[in-house]
């Protein structure tokens, strides 16, 4: 009965101990505290003289060790113990706590009575070693059961602690990664801001003014400089920040600086829009005024347009990661792209201005052409009218007009009249009046006068007509030869002898002409025979 | 052959030569008649084609018409009108000669000299030839016209 009561008390004690241990371990996250609490509870629960509690990592190296009441236990001894415990022959892949066999324990260098192994979830191992009990008592099943219960608590607590530790480590790692991500986000925000600023300012000068502070601010640099040189137009853009006094560089120095940058890049060759980090920056120190560059990038915007970005040392004394260097390169590349855009925009603006000027000139030309066209139209109308006038005049010249005949004949009449009046041999325009003292007689009267008065019959017609035929006994005295004939034949003629003259035709009154001449020679009886006398003619020569 | 003859006939230079010839001929023919109008008057009268009251005026004016027309032909003044006048005169002369020949009137022609040039078939043929020349000048003459020298020609407007 007394024994049973003692067993009950012992069990109550064990249960109270388990409860207290559980209460102690509740919330404990440090493995060493757990080990210590586990060792104290186990040692106190079974009355062991000493003991140890050890925790290994996955490689079986000791991470935590608690030793109580055993001076001989050393770190090396424990390592040997752990190694032996982890021997495949001694330990098996078990999930629950287990005691090492007494055979194995006896092979260990220390004199431990019980060694309990507790496998953890993450592959670690924890060992609890207990020296013999006080008063030389042997450990019974109740003790082993208590140790198993305590080890289960220990296993749970240690797993929880290890899990918590892992979570903390993971949190720390995540926090670190978050910091990196924040930094990358910071840089990327810088890139975005740069893009936005570049989108707002398409002028190279303005872009450089906005770009340099952004670059220096994002990458924690207090000093920096960007220089751009267009060899075609000899233009130089230079922007600096944090350098006192503000540097100024001649195109020759800029050219020299860019040449040294080109010599300092990796392949001594640069492609457009692909900035290259300058590896050998020492030769640049003499050319860069006011600061010592630590990072230099050379870039080519377009053919003949080189540029360089020179950054001073960072404000923080820390080493930039490769990722940050890549971001810096990306930042510079983005900037070069914007520079190219700005330059292209400037070219487009210049082209637009040129086009506007050309359009203006073209418009003026069109206006002038319009005016000229108007003038040409007026001139064409005038030319057509002139041509019509000329054609009309030409046609008039080629045509025969009545006026031409009037003029020709009129001029001839005027000239003929004037000349005839002035000509001593001129003639009368009009027929002379019938001569006074001349009697016009008929053929019968003429015959009577011829027979009774012995009159002389005179043919006044030209000789040719006379010879064709004339009146019988007629003497031919043509007007044209009157003087000669008269001198030859009539000088001795009696002026009182009657003269009967005939000879007139449609065109000429020869008889009157000759009668007038005879009257002029003082002949008194002159008769002109009229009427149709052709029947009286005899053929010529008789 | 006929083509070459036609080209030669239509050539302005040929017409110019004929024009000078006819013009000079009429100038020459008019001079003696102008100096001796009475004799020319007898010549006209001998044709028996003109009323006696018109013989003297014709004897005075006809040589001057010949002279003015001849000068205009040579100088290139109102050429077509002058050629028309001369052709008309030659046509009239030809008709008169034909009539005289038909009537067998024994008269002198009076074309150049007042005497010594009796009317004959040769005279008629000669007048016909001159008449053809006058018509030819009227039709084809186009060179050296004095009255066109001082005016713009239509072709000049196309080639200023």
Cβ contacts from A onto B, under 8 A: 126
Residue A297: burial class (beta carbons within 10 Å; 0-12, 13-18, 19+): buried
What integer is the mean pLDDT of A413-439? Answer: 89
Task: Show the beta-strand stretches assigned E in A8-120.
Answer: 51-56, 62-68, 98-99, 114-119
Q: Are A111 and A69 in contact (CB under 8 A)?
A: no
Q: Cβ–Cβ of B65/A408 closer than 8 Å?
A: yes
Domains and CATH numbers, chain A: 2-169 (3.30.450.40), 199-347 (3.30.450.40), 438-539 (3.40.250.10)
Q: Indicate yes or no: CB of A390 within 8 angstroms of CB of B107.
A: no
Closest CA in chain A for residue B39: A480
What are the residues whose beta carbons fall under 8 Å from the beta carbon of A397, sequence distance 6 or more? B145, B147, B148, B151
CB contact under 8 A, B52 and A428: no
Among A170-184, A327-341, B62-76, the range with the most confident prediction by mean pLDDT is B62-76
Instruction: Specify if B150 maps to a domain.
Output: no
Q: Is A436 left (phi over 0), alpha (psi -120 to 50) or beta?
A: beta
Single pTM value for the model:
0.50
Spans of chain B, pLDDT less than 70: 1-2, 114-116, 150-160
At B18, list the tokens. Answer: 């004929």
Whether A378 has its CB under 8 Å from any CB of chain B: the answer is: no
Whether A283 and A264 have beta carbons less than 8 Å apart is answered as: yes
- Cα–Cα distances (Å) from B160 to A265, A384, A508, B157, in that order, read 73, 14, 62, 6
What's the number of domains chain B is made of? 1
Q: Is B47–A419 a contact, with Cβ atoms under 8 angstroms apart? A: no
Residue A281 and residue B25: Cα distance in Å, rounded? 115
CB within 8 Å: A419 and B69? no
> What secondary structure letter does DSSP report for A535?
G
Pick from B104, B80, B123: nearest CA to A395: B80
pLDDT at A187 exceeding the cut of 80: no
Domain with B15, as residue range(s), is 2-141
**Is B32 domain-assigned?**
yes
Query: What would the two tokens of residue A473 be?
Result: 């006994």
Per the prediction, chain B carries an average pLDDT of 87
Q: Does A433 touch chain B (CB under 8 A)?
A: no
Task: For residue range A242-300, list pLDDT tens digits in order.
Answer: 887 777 888 888 888 899 999 888 888 888 888 888 988 888 888 887 888 888 889 98
Percent of chain A with pLDDT over 90: 13
The reply to whether B147 falls in a domain is no
From chain A, pick out residues whose CB is under 8 angstroms from the CB of B105: 464
Whether residue B60 and residue A405 make contact (CB cut-off 8 A), yes or no, is no
Any chain B CB within 8 A of the CB of A380? no
Query: CB contact, 8 Å: B144 with chain A?
Result: no
Q: What is the pLDDT of residues A343-373, one digit of tens each?
A: 888 888 889 999 999 999 999 999 999 999 9
Q: Is residue B146 included in any domain, yes or no?
A: no
Q: Is residue A90 scored above 60 in pLDDT? A: no
Residue B94 falls inside a structural domain: yes
Assigned domain for B153 exists: no
Q: Let me know if residue B101 belongs to a domain.
A: yes
Asked if A508 and B42 come within 8 Å (Cβ–Cβ), the reply is yes
| Listed range (A102-111, A228-237, A356-365) with the worst mean pLDDT | A102-111
ipTM of the complex: 0.90
Q: Order of strands, edge to edge, in the sheet holding A305-311?
A: A235-241, A224-230, A305-311, A295-302, A276-277
Whether B17 is covered by a domain: the verdict is yes
Q: Does A400 touch chain B (CB under 8 A)?
A: yes
Looking up tokens 């205009």 gives B72
Query: What sign does the CA torsion over B67, B73, B76, B78 have?
Result: positive
Interface test with A, best of B43, B55, B60, B155 (most A CBs within 10 A): B60
Contacts of B69 in chain A (CB under 8 A): 408, 412
């Amino acid at each position: 009965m007394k024994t049973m009561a003692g067993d009950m008390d012992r069990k109550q004690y064990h249960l109270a101990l388990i409860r207290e241990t559980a209460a102690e371990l509740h919330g404990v996250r440090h493995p060493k505290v757990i080990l210590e609490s586990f060792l104290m509870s186990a040692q106190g629960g079974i009355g062991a003289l000493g003991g140890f509690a050890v925790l290994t990592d996955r490689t079986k190296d000791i991470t935590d060790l608690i030793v109580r009441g055993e001076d001989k236990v050393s770190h090396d001894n424990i390592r040997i113990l752990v190694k032996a415990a982890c021997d495949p022959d001694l330990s098996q892949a078990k999930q629950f706590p287990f005691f090492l066999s007494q055979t194995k324990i006896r092979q260990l260098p220390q004199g431990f009575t019980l060694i309990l192994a507790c496998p953890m979830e993450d592959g670690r191992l924890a060992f609890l070693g207990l020296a013999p009990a006080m008063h030389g008592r042997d450990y019974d099943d109740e003790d082993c059961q208590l140790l198993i219960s305590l080890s289960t608590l220990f296993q749970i607590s240690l797993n929880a602690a290890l899990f918590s530790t892992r979570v903390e480590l993971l949190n720390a790692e995540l926090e670190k990664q978050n910091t990196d991500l924040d930094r990358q986000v910071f840089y990327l925000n810088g890139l975005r801001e740069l893009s936005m600023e570049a989108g707002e300012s398409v002028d190279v000068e303005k872009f450089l003014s906005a770009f340099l502070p952004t670059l220096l601010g994002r990458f924690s640099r207090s000093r920096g400089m960007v220089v751009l040189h267009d060899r075609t137009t000899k233009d130089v853009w230079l922007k600096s920040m944090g350098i006192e006094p503000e540097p100024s560089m001649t195109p020759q120095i800029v050219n020299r600086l860019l040449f040294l940058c080109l010599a300092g890049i990796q392949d001594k060759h640069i492609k457009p829009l692909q900035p290259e980090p300058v590896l050998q920056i020492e030769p640049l120190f003499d050319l860069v005024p006011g600061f010592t560059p630590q990072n230099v990038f050379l870039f080519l915007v377009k053919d003949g347009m080189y540029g360089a970005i020179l950054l001073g040392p960072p404000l923080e004394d820390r080493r930039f990661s490769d990722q940050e260097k890549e971001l810096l390169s990306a930042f510079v590349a983005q900037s070069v792209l914007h520079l190219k855009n700005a330059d292209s925009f400037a070219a487009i603006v210049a082209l637009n201005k040129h086009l506007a000027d050309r359009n203006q000139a073209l418009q003026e030309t069109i206006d002038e052409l319009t005016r000229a066209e108007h003038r040409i139209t007026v001139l064409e109308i005038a030319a057509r009218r002139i041509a019509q006038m000329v054609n009309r005049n030409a046609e008039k010249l080629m045509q025969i007009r009545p006026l031409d005949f009037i003029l020709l004949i009129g001029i001839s009449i005027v000239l003929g009249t004037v000349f005839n009046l002035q000509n001593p041999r001129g003639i009368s325009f009009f027929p002379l009046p019938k001569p006074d003292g001349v009697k016009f007689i008929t053929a019968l009267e003429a015959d009577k006068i011829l027979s009774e008065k012995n009159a002389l019959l005179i043919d006044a017609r030209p000789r040719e007509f006379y010879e064709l035929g004339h009146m019988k006994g007629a003497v031919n005295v043509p007007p044209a030869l009157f003087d000669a004939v008269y001198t030859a034949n009539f000088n001795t003629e009696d002026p009182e002898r009657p003269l009967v003259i005939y000879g007139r035709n449609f065109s000429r009154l020869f008889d009157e002409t000759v009668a007038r001449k005879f009257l002029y020679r003082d002949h008194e009886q002159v008769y002109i025979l009229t009427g149709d006398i052709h029947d009286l003619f005899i053929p010529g020569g008789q | 052959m006929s083509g070459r003859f036609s080209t030669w006939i239509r050539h302005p230079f040929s017409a110019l030569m004929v024009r000078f010839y006819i013009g000079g001929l009429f100038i020459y023919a008019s001079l003696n008649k102008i100096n001796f109008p009475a004799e020319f008057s007898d010549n006209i009268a001998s044709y028996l084609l003109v009323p006696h009251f018109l013989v003297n005026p014709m004897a005075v004016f006809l040589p001057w018409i010949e002279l003015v027309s001849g000068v205009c032909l040579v100088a290139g003044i109102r050429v077509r009108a002058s050629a028309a006048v001369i052709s008309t005169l030659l046509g009239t002369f030809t008709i008169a000669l034909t009539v005289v020949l038909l009537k067998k009137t024994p008269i002198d022609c009076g074309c150049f000299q007042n005497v010594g040039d009796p009317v004959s078939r040769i005279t008629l043929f000669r007048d016909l030839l001159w008449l053809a020349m006058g018509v030819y000048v009227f039709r084809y003459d186009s060179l050296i016209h004095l009255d066109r020298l001082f005016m713009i020609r239509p072709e000049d407007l196309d080639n200023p």
